[in-house]
Structure 1
Amino acid sequence: MLLTIVAVIRLLHTADWHLGAALQGWSREPEHRAALAQLVETARVRVVDAVIVAGDIFDSLNPSAEAQRLLYDTLRDLRAACPHATIALLAGNHDPAGRLEAPRALFEIAGVHSVGVIARREGALDLSAHLLPIRDASGAVGAYLLALPYPRAADLPIAGADVTGSPVVWGVRALYREAVDAARAKIGAAPLVLTGHLHVAGGLESEGAERRILIGGEHAAPPDIFPPDAAYVALGHLHKPQKVGRETIRYSGALIPMSKSEIGYAHGVTLVEISGAGAATAEPLAFTRSVAHLRLPQQGPLAVSEIEGALASLALDPQTPDEARPFVHLAVRVNGPSVGLKAEIDAVCEKFPVRLVSLAVERPQRIEAPQLAPLRLAERQPRDLFREAFEATHGVAPSDEHLRCFDQLAEEA
């Protein structure tokens, strides 16, 4: 296949939208709408030739009507902003692959390519579903996109008995080798962009936010599954924008923070430019957050008595609408019993325009007593057992009042 040499192809790489997600019951839709509006505007201003969404478009396998509507609204706005651009949606491990496949005919009317599963015809990879030309504004083809979604177990070739190491990683490597070889047989040496919704070894995970997704316990594939002649590899799954292996194998990261561990990330998209010779450069573009995510304090814990002062120091507008109020992740230090602690903190937070979404309670470290020979229960005094259980639960010894209450109950029993 002949390729018309163009000066540069420009694409926008995004992933991990997680539409429909909630945080402690609070909808993330206002944040998503604001971030997606920035994505559309970036695509328009930078005059991109392609937009690649590398999986986890939705947060669940059964997305709400609101989440689906937000996707369709965004695709409509992208098409209006970039009339000639190739737009590709790839299923991730969170996505309902069938729901991305079902409207394919309607998507194609709008020039949107949706790939939910690995398609085969007579046993071979169906390139008509996976290989897409990327054209510039004049219509000239400047690169090709090999669009592969999250590989499920049924998509992977079965390893033989002679395979060493993880059969799953072997299967992923074989799948990509087959796909690239088939694409190269059709497009020759033209610049090739690959996609993947995988955990690639060397990538930094976000604690509590990402599932380890490859089957069989081997959740990370090595970056050398992607051939060195690939111009760019657009990855999804990990939420931190980062490169893995080399500059042109990258995660664009999530659009918004999905957990407390992601507050410090520069969430946004990646702008990629590919020259006619196939050389690629990548530029992460951070978005402005429409809702603040705050850890109080930034390091260490607060005493309960310090919470109100810390919230007051934020100087937040009390008229802030609910959907724009900052999400607060609070760390507190407790030296005694914590009965009623959550209610006490909730009462303080209700005085301010914030949304408390996580509470970490830190207690002083206990000095372990030397190990003694175990005693039989009959040799123990109930009062001593109560004292030890109280200290193990609350991190401090019971007060005289606690002991008096216990003695009274013991007498009544």
Structure 2
Amino acid sequence: MRLRNIFVIGATLSLLGIGVPAWSEDDPKSCTELLSADTPAYVVCHWMATEEEARDIALFWGANDGENMKETTPLDREVVDCNAAGNSCPGDLEGDGAMHGDGDPEPDGYVDDGGTPECDPGTECAVKPEALKASAEDIKGAAQTPQGQALSKAAESGLRVWIDTDLTDDWKAGKLAEAVKAVGALAAQPGVAGIRFATQLGYDQTFTTAEEIDKFVAETSAALRIAAPGKKLAAHTLVPLFGCGVNDACKVEMTKKYPLLDPERIGAFLTKGQIDQLALDAGLLATEYATWKIDATEAQRNQWIQVRAKAWDAYAQIAAEDAVLTAPGSSQLTAVQARKTLTERVATPLQNDAAETVTLWTRWQDPNGTVNRVLGEKLATNATWQQLDRLDSVKPRLATVYDPATPEVDTATDLQKLAEVFGQVYLTTA
């Protein structure tokens, strides 16, 4: 990740005409010759001190039985005596005005609030770490839940596992700590790579202001970093403005229609390190841009050009997300149609180095109760699945979403089938 950031910065400097200094082979502090022959050219070695300088430094501190070292003392600190004549100090400072050392009793009236800052009424802006971390008993109990057992079965199937949950409602209800602790217990199960904590972020009706979204992402990300250290954090959203390309009328309308999906705000989640993976949904590509005669292929191309231009992949992993292969009952695509769709929605983002992974939905239920699938009932294969099965070379980059609460056959059988095609799975836990 650091190297990718360096490349981006270097390219920007070049465009601005700013030269990046290279270490000269004649530099006495260069130690590049110690590197192996196959070391990339951009890796350099530079001594902090030459051999002669290091010798002089050692002799200075070691001379006369370390006399110089013994005579060193901490830098003098400036201390103002408020009681001395001519000195004036503010009268509203905290404390009793006396010096205290470690182990001394606390001043009269001192109350330990845990260091928690004041919050707005009705909000929970800070939570002590112990309230977020799951205990060994919590983790053991989570393993016995249906979600924990599904995580285990997914890992056994060879799938890289992500927890797919949505903490927006918990955050708004002031129950973030409780929800994060439960997710942390599940994330501690073997094989879990990361947590997706928001879906359709800024697109659904959960938030009404951009400031709310910023606060939710900042607080939830910080809490999850404590509750599930080492796990990747992901979010799913849309950036409708990207599909417009250079069409100004389209950009004006998308900005007006989706004010909470500002690319700069979403990009800040990545540059601040709050999100490690960002999934961009393709759900609007086929219909949202028809007014400006922009079809799905052009809208997708516009989107990924913008993603590359903003160098989002220098800060986080970018994923494409699509449900285009599903249909009521099962996919009805012929082999030729399926191949064309996979080329457009899977191969193109990957080949253009726009998305590192592609998440394809294989089963979901609409509000009317209709089940949309790729496979047929009871995992019956079809032409679409056969074409998916041919993408073995990019299997590690393909992911799907699975809800163990609504199995097609049973969780173990379903996950084994998904593992034939996909390398990763987002397992719904709430």
TM-score (norm 1): 0.35
Rg larger in structure: 2
The structure with more helix, counted as a fraction of residues: 2
TM-score (norm 2): 0.34
